[in-house]
Each structure stands twice: as C-alpha cells, then as structure tokens.
Amino acid sequence: MTDTPPIAQEHWISLPQQGRLYAKTWTPAAPQKAPLVLMHDSLGSVALWRDFPAQLAQATGRQVVAYDRLGFGQSDARTDSLSPQFVGEEAEIYFPVVREHLGLERFALLGHSVGGGMGIAIAAGAGQDCTALVTIAAQAFVEDRTWAGIVEARALFQDAAQLERLAKYHGSKARWVVDAWTETWLSPAFADWTVDAWLPRLQCPLLAIHGELDEYGSTAHPERIARQAGAGGQAEIIAGAHHMPHREMAEQVLGLVQAFLAQAD
C-alpha cells in the first residue's frame, strides 16, 4: 500500500467501426505487478465505480483500469439490441481493442455482476496473460432470483425520476442502458445462459465475492464459479451485504482483494 494518491488519466479508444470507448486509469507512483482491469455491471460506468478504483490502486500498488462499455457512460451510443451472446462478445470484440490501446500485455481482472461473467470470459481466452480474476456479485446462470430481481427493477425504471438519476451517468443513453439489461436478461433466448463453458479454461486463480443477501443471485453463484474454476477458486460470502458489497462494505472487500492479489501473481 502507498500513501501517495494515484494519478488519474482519461483515455479515448477508437473502435474499428462503432465509435469510441471512454477509459480511465489510476496509476500509483511505482506500480507493481500486472494492472487490474475493472468490468462494470449492467447499469454501470466508470463514474459509478466512484472511489473504488483509486482505493484499489492505493491498496494494491497496481495501476487500475476501467472503461465504459459501448453504449454506457461516456462511450459512444449504440442503437442495436444486445445479443444473447453479449457477454462473450465483450471478451472477443471490445476488450481486445482496449487491451491493445493501453498496452496490457499481462493483467488481472475484477468484474462486478455481469462484468464478473465478462471477466470470466476474458480470462478464459487470455490464458496465462491473465494473472488473477476477482468476481463480485457475479451471476453464473439465470436463477429464479436473478429473473425476479430484474422484473422488479424493470418496473422501478418506469418511474421517470429513476431514469433521470441514471441519466446523470449515461446521458441520453439511459433508456437504452436499462432496456439492454432488462430485455436481454428476461428474453427466452437468454434463459439457458451460463458461464460454465469458460470456467474450466481458466489458468489463473479466482476469488468469487458475493453478498449474503444479494437480490440478483443466491450464494449458488459464487460457489459454482469457485468450484468449476480451472486453476482453482475460492468463494467469500459477505454477511449482511447485498448486490454492491464493494460499496456497502468497502473496507472488507478491499482487504479481501488486496490479500488475494498479493498471493495470486
């Protein structure tokens, strides 16, 4: 851990056809080991990580990288619907462009919610270039609780005030962001989605953090992720936490991530 605040820098990354992605890095004075890349959740963005990236950089001594997926945050808009394969597509189409632009030869990953699934897919394809993987509140499959939580959220976002709150982070893209989450996950074509095909291919250690009271998935998710991880995994259940343990119990999550990464690579 360092007492010097990390230096924050913004980046714009051009995609071959679809526009630009917004990214931000937090770099400590003397970064050690592989950079840590953050993958945001279904309503997330760089800004919605809040202080967590800077705290991670300071706690781990690593450069931390976060980017807005296409259609989210400050990245360019998209008008198409997400396909049922969108988790794998992030790993295959978009992340490689971010990786090349930022020169990430080796990296660790931390993904929240669906970003955890994306982290699993990215790590599965990266082999030993990915040195460690942390998932927070990640879904491994579409559970009844997951489905019910999203149905409730869809109803909530019919309230214009709720959509306006989200627009602070996504601007005019806010309605697309909500629909991309709810309509994709509730689609019959997505009902059989799992991360099972990627997990055995992992060559890095894995830590699956999950809130005991997560409204979008039971502890069956981290247990399944840890059990099937190809290079070994561990699950940590945070008592009393819901879907945002890194926000609800930040010190505890930071401590878990710091200790895990210190041993992982």
What is the residue-level pLDDT of the chain in tens, covering all 265 positions? 557 899 999 999 999 888 999 999 999 988 889 999 999 999 999 999 999 999 999 999 999 999 999 999 999 999 899 999 999 999 999 999 999 999 999 999 999 999 999 999 999 999 999 999 999 999 999 999 999 999 999 999 999 999 999 999 999 999 999 999 999 999 999 999 999 999 999 999 999 999 999 999 999 999 999 999 999 999 999 999 999 999 999 999 999 999 999 998 7
Which domains are delineated in the chain?
A: 7-264 (3.40.50.1820)
Q: Which of the 8 DSSP states describes residue 141?
A: B
Q: At what angle do helices 144-156 and 174-185 cross, to 10 degrees?
A: 150
Helices 250-264 and 52-60: angle between axes, nearest 10 degrees: 40
Nearest to 217 by CA among 150, 166, 153: 150
pTM, full prediction = 0.96
Strand 206-211 vs strand 130-136: parallel, antiparallel, or unpaired? parallel
End-to-end Cα spacing for the chain: 16
Q: 260: burial class by Cβ within 10 Å (0-12, 13-18, 19+)?
A: buried
Q: What whole-number distance in Å separates Cα of residue 70 and Cα of residue 50?
A: 19
